[in-house]
Amino acid sequence: MGRIDAITSAINAVETRIGYLVPTSRVNRRFWAPGAELNTGIYESYPVTVRNARTAPEPFTLDRHGFCLSTHRSGIADFHDAEAVNRLYPDEVAQVAKALTGCDLVVPMGAQIRSSGQTGPTVQPPAAEAHVDFTTKTARRIAQVLYERAVPGGPGFDRFICFSLWRTFSPPPQDWPLALCEYGSVGDEEGVPNTKVDVDVIPEGDALFAPIEGEEDMAAATIFRHNPAHLWWYFPDMVRDEIVFIKFHDSDHDRAWRAPHTAFHDTSRPGAHVRESLEFRAIAYFSRAG
């Protein structure tokens, strides 16, 4: 979990705005269609200071902060090559996760490319509001289902971590970097569910808010209301061989068990490049002793 000491021309802190859920928002859904996403929740952008994590006084660690920076040189030449990513990247992610967490099993969930430029059927826009990709309920259910598929009749597990391995592969500086919220600045009681609804085409009008049968059992993310106590960080000028490990949910709540995150528009870097990034979701398991 070593700290990366990169030379960067970025400033020590960026004054920007981050989208948070407003207190009056009631029907919170994230409709997902190829190349498009739409939230029914009502969000407002709040002024936020995002600090340069490369100049922080101590390294960021998974157990204290909920995220960390590390290095990994992928064997994939082009991350837009879906066949190569699906064939090679799960094993690479597993190796990184085992090294960073000490887990003994990693079950992949899949990759997603995001771009602040052109999107399409396989490329989504950046997620631009404070969130964690799972709720506790969703994390527990998915972890159990995927474990039983991967290890039928296995010994079970004492702990699991739902996570993302995130990297950008466009040149630095990027126009929409990833901001990460320090775990210790977020109360365990904070956050409300945001149901993920997969559709072919984003609905319109009243259809966005119409009842959905079984919605209470659908996968959901956690979204957050503004809290001035939140401490936001980012790693400016990330390069292809750097990765960020982000906890979505650690079943061990005696340590940092999640890290809210979001893209933000960094206007402090004139001439910044379009951000292209790859996130790969997976679950790390700590198997029960036989």
Residue whose token pair is 């956690």: 222
- What are the structure tokens assigned to 38, written together? 């739409």
- What are the structure tokens assigned to 3, written together? 């700290």
According to DSSP, the β-strands at 43-52 and 232-234 are parallel
**Could you tell me the CA-to-CA distances from 252 to 157, 179, 184, 266 in Å, in that order?**
12, 24, 15, 34
| pLDDT (tens digit per residue) in 13-64 | 999 999 999 999 999 999 999 999 999 999 999 999 999 999 999 999 999 9
> With bands split at pLDDT 50, 70 and 90, how would you rate the model's confidence at 289?
confident
List 268's β-bridge partners, or say none: none
The answer to the question of residue 253 being in a domain is yes
- What are the structure tokens assigned to 101, written together? 């967490």
How many folded domains does the chain comprise? Answer: 1
The answer to the question of residue 51 being in a domain is yes
Residues 6+ apart with CB under 8 A from 14: 49, 50, 52, 234, 264, 266, 268
* Separation between Cα atoms, residue 108 and residue 110, nearest integer Å: 6
Domain harbouring 131, CATH code:
2.60.120
The answer to the question of residue 91 being in a domain is yes
The answer to the question of residue 160 being in a domain is yes
Threshold 0.75, pTM exceeds: yes
| pLDDT (tens digit per residue) in 205-229 | 999 999 999 999 899 999 999 999 9
Provide the domain limits for residue 133.
47-190+220-287
- Contact at 8 Å (CB) between 173 and 269? yes
- Contact at 8 Å (CB) between 64 and 256? yes
The answer to the question of residue 80 being in a domain is yes
- Contact at 8 Å (CB) between 168 and 275? yes
> With bands split at pLDDT 50, 70 and 90, how would you rate the model's confidence at 3?
very low
DSSP character string of 72-132: ---S-S-TT-HHHHHHHHHHHHHHHHHHHH--SEEEEEEEEEEESS--BTTEEPP--BSEE
The answer to the question of residue 12 being in a domain is no
| pLDDT (tens digit per residue) in 217-263 | 899 999 999 999 999 999 999 999 999 999 999 999 999 999 999 99
The answer to the question of residue 200 being in a domain is no
The answer to the question of residue 207 being in a domain is no
